């Protein structure tokens, strides 16, 4: 009597096919999560700017009808915290300051030596084509380029 031996298991082709399918699914998941992270960071940037608008108005009321002079590196801007905002928000991706310029009434830059600033512009570069870009301020304000994808607010 001759015994037949049967090999049970998977062939190399079957194993490779399964590995390729798992790889494709993993790639799709990573791509989808990456897009959601960008959307989340953009939403955070827009919320941070909304919080900063309140701080600027508090500064305006307490400092005699003027907004902080200079830009985001100026001591006047930095003095918003902790008196008017707990801490100045930073970009969630690279921890950089948001864009800021104090402005004169005509939209020109209001430098650190200016007596007062009648307005300001604050902005952040978004990573996606967020719908907020449809209603923001575009243009150039005191050397700050607010063309999309930069989300800018100017009162």
Q: What is the pLDDT of residues 93-107, one digit of tens each?
A: 999 999 999 999 888
- Establish if 7 belongs to a structural domain: no
Report if residue 6 sits inside a domain.
no
Residues 32-56 pLDDT 10s: 888 899 999 999 999 999 999 999 9
**Which residues lie closer than 8 Å to 153 by C-beta, 6 or more apart?**
49, 53, 121, 122, 123, 136, 137
Give the integer Cα–Cα distance in Å for 57 and 125.
23
Whole-structure pTM value: 0.79
Separation between Cα atoms, residue 13 and residue 10, nearest integer Å: 8
* C-alpha distances in Å from residue 32, one per residue of 41, 90, 98: 15, 25, 27
How sure is the predictor about 91, in pLDDT bands with cuts at 50, 70 and 90?
Answer: very high
CA-only gyration radius of the chain, Å: 26
* Residue 117 within any structural domain of the chain: yes
- Whether 5 is in a domain gets the answer no
What does pLDDT average to over the chain? 89
Quote the domain boundaries for residue 131. 12-153
What's the number of domains the chain is made of?
Answer: 1
């Amino acid at each position: 009597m001759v015994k037949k031996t049967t090999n049970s298991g998977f062939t190399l082709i079957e194993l490779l096919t399964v590995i390729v399918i798992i790889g494709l699914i993993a790639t799709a998941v990573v791509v989808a999560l990456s897009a959601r992270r960008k959307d989340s960071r953009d939403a955070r940037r827009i919320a941070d700017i909304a919080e900063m608008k309140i701080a600027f108005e508090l500064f305006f009321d307490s400092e005699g009808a003027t907004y902080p002079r200079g830009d985001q590196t100026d001591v006047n801007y930095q003095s918003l915290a902790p008196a008017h905002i707990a801490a100045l928000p930073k970009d969630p991706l690279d921890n950089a300051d948001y864009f800021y310029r104090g402005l004169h009434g005509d939209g020109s830059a209001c430098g650190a030596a200016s007596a007062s600033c009648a307005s300001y512009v604050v902005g952040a570069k978004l990573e996606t084509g967020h719908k907020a870009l449809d209603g923001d301020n575009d243009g150039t304000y005191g050397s700050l380029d607010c063309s999309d994808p930069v989300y800018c607010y100017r009162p």
